[in-house]
């Protein structure tokens, strides 16, 4: 099975930007070359024009010396550029000069390997050097149409001239020329593409990272949403506009799930509440039955049904009802609960003992929630310890409440799963598998936990809590309670 790899938005943008830049650069060069080829412009300045006109009228006299014939074009050139000067040389050293050459180096011959050059003298004067084939042989021309202004130094620009292959009829051989043109375009485009590509690699990750910083924060918010704060929603103000529809869809889905969960909770709470009345009626009528084994079993079954309905109501109430947090001494609270349940434990065959903390154990708690948790722990010990031995309830100053018995306890392999709703290790017991789930919820509300440990004489369940003022109630802002969702 092929697993589709996740794609990076950042590197996807970089790759597409580089491809777009390469395409645009190649297209620009191709269009520019095509435009130049179509209009076929005469790309020459005044100096180049002077060289071209002079080269068309160079002749030799009877002694073989270079001369420039008097022609209307030459006269027009001299009239248009009053400061015109030029020099014509051949390979044998013969020179023809016109006008006053303002710079000494320009009076000397340039290397014949330089086909064309643009020379700027220090006085601001520009001249053109060019080798041309003429009817009297290959000659070197130096020409300028202005004298410039006073300055120092000498700069030389070398021009490149490209001739394409042609056949005997003068037609361009495109099959030969096109590969060369492609290579030239590549040579021209590659440096620019490399430069823009490097710039893209350096700029795009940072730009995209800054643009997506809000998205990363939103993803962190999404990871923090769980069962206990499912009413939270993602902040859409920090994500790019293109991501807002997805954030809105995610928030809409959360709203639907939250609404469905609340409807489910209300249904269970209503169902459990509606069961109370018929259960109470059934218990009253069972008490009126003649004493017999069947009536006794019937009362036990009704008691079990009543306990399940009561625990279902407690499950819906924990974390969903706003309860007031108050300061309580765990010693007094647990002692009262132990006193209420001691007769039930002794009737079931147990020795029952309560051990308070030698120090004060005062915590800010939701009293009814802790009462419910302790009651469930003691009743679990009564139901599962085998009807013999002792049950000891112990309070620690650090906020621990231990319920220990001498029964078989919970196997280590099952201890992580017993908190699941309706998880029953002993299927023959009267419990519904909801007690430890309720105890765990109560511990989490108070920033604590539930743990198990074995002793020399049996098994213990420990409920650890902290003051709700330092955990959950810190966000209440003095309202005295917090709605858990």
pLDDT tens digits, 382-419: 888 888 889 999 999 989 999 999 888 888 878 777 77
Phi, psi of 134 (to 5 degrees): -125, 170
- Same domain flag for 439 and 454: yes
- Same domain flag for 424 and 335: yes
Q: What is the DSSP letter of 471?
A: T
What are the pLDDT digits (tens) for 475-484? Answer: 444 333 333 3
Q: Is a pLDDT exceeding 90 seen at residue 447?
A: no
Dihedral, 89, 91, 93, 96 alpha carbons, nearest 10: -20
85-98: average pLDDT: 90
**Distance (Å, whole) CA 224 – CA 231:** 12
- Same domain flag for 244 and 110: no
Position 54 scores a pLDDT of: 93
**Distance (Å, whole) CA 245 – CA 36:** 49
Has residue 1 been placed in a domain?
no
- Same domain flag for 475 and 349: yes
121-148: average pLDDT: 84
100-117: average pLDDT: 79
Lowest mean pLDDT among 248-262, 340-354, 448-462: 248-262
Q: Which of the pair, 309 or 219, is modelled with greater confidence?
A: 219
- Same domain flag for 254 and 377: no
What is the percentage of the chain residues whose pLDDT exceeds 70? 72
Position 149 scores a pLDDT of: 52
- Same domain flag for 134 and 280: no
- Pairing, β 137-144 against β 85-89: antiparallel
Q: Is a pLDDT exceeding 60 seen at residue 159?
A: no
| CATH at residue 442 | 3.30.565.10
Query: What tokens does 301 get?
Result: 């079954």
| CATH at residue 243 | 1.10.287.130
Q: Is a pLDDT exceeding 60 seen at residue 471?
A: no
* Average pLDDT score, the chain: 77
DSSP helix/strand/coil, 99: coil
Lowest mean pLDDT among 13-27, 250-264, 344-358: 13-27
| CATH at residue 135 | 3.30.450
The distance of Cα 348 from the centroid of its chain, to the nearest Å, equals 61
- Same domain flag for 122 and 200: no
**Angle, nearest 10°, between helix axes 330-347 and 367-384?**
30
Position 164 scores a pLDDT of: 62
Has residue 375 been placed in a domain?
yes
- Same domain flag for 467 and 392: yes
What are the pLDDT digits (tens) for 262-294? Answer: 777 677 666 666 666 777 777 777 777 787 777
Has residue 170 been placed in a domain?
no
Domain boundary among 209, 232, 267: 209
110, 129 contact by CB (below 8 A): yes
Position 287 scores a pLDDT of: 75
Position 40 scores a pLDDT of: 54
Position 482 scores a pLDDT of: 37
Confidence of residue 470 (pLDDT cuts 50, 70, 90): very low
Interior angle at CA 439, CA 433 and CA 441, nearest 5: 105
- Same domain flag for 66 and 101: yes
**Distance (Å, whole) CA 229 – CA 484:** 8
Residue numbers of the domain that contains 199: 9-40+175-209
Q: Which of the pair, 215 or 441, is modelled with greater confidence?
A: 441
Has residue 442 been placed in a domain?
yes
- Same domain flag for 155 and 186: no
152-177: average pLDDT: 60
61-70: average pLDDT: 89
Has residue 36 been placed in a domain?
yes
- Same domain flag for 368 and 418: yes
Position 273 scores a pLDDT of: 63
Domain boundary among 297, 317, 337: 317
Distances (CA, A) of 151 to 125, 129, 148, 154, 318: 9, 20, 9, 9, 94
How many structural domains are present in the chain? 4
Which residues 6+ apart lie within 8 Å of 289 measured at CB?
295, 298
Task: Please state the pTM of the whole predicted model.
Answer: 0.43
- Same domain flag for 248 and 334: no
């Amino acid at each position: 099975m092929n697993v589709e790899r996740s794609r990076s938005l950042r590197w996807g943008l970089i790759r597409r930007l580089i491809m777009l830049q390469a395409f645009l650069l190649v297209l620009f060069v191709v269009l520019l070359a095509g435009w130049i080829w179509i209009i076929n412009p005469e790309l020459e300045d005044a100096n180049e024009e002077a060289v071209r006109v002079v080269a068309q009228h160079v002749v030799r006299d009877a002694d073989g010396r270079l001369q420039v014939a008097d022609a209307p074009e030459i006269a027009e050139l001299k009239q248009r550029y009053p400061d015109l000067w030029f020099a014509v040389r051949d390979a044998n050293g013969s020179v023809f000069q016109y006008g006053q050459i303002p710079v000494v180096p320009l009076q000397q011959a340039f290397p014949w390997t330089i086909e064309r050059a643009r020379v700027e003298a220090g006085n601001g004067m520009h001249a053109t050097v060019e080798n041309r084939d003429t009817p009297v042989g290959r000659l070197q021309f130096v020409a300028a149409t202005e004298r410039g202004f006073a300055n120092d130094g000498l700069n030389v620009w070398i021009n490149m001239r490209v001739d394409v292959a042609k056949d005997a009829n003068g037609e361009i051989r495109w099959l030969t020329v096109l590969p060369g043109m492609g290579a030239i375009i590549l040579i021209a485009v590659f440096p620019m593409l490399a430069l823009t590509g490097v710039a893209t690699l350096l700029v795009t990750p940072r730009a995209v990272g800054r643009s997506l910083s809000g998205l990363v924060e939103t993803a962190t918010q999404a990871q923090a949403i769980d069962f206990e704060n499912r009413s939270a929603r993602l902040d859409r103000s920090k994500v790019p506009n293109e991501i807002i529809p997805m954030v809105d869809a995610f928030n809409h889905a959360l709203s639907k799930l939250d609404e469905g969960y609340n409807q489910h909770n209300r249904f269970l709470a209503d169902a459990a509440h509606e069961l109370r009345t018929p259960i109470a009626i059934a218990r009253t009528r069972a008490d009126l039955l003649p004493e017999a084994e069947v009536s006794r079993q019937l009362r036990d079954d009704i008691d079990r049904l009543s306990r399940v309905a009561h625990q279902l109501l407690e499950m819906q109430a924990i974390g969903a009802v706003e309860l007031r947090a108050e300061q309580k001494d765990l010693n007094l609270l647990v002692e009262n609960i132990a006193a209420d349940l001691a007769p039930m434990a002794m009737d079931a065959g147990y020795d029952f003992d309560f051990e308070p903390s030698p120090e004060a154990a005062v915590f800010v708690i939701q009293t009814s929630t802790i009462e419910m948790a302790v009651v469930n722990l003691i009743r679990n010990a009564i139901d599962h310890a085998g009807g013999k031995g002792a049950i000891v309830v112990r309070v620690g100053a650090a906020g621990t409440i231990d319920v220990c018995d001498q029964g078989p306890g919970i196997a280590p392999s099952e201890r992580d799963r017993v908190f699941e709703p309706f998880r029953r290790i002993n299927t023959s017991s009267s419990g519904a598998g909801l007690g430890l789930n309720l105890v765990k919820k109560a511990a989490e509300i108070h920033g604590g936990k539930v743990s198990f440990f074995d002793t020399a004489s049996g098994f213990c369940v420990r409920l650890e809590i902290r003051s709700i003022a330092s955990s959950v109630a810190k966000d209440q802002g003095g309202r005295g309670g917090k709605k858990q969702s």
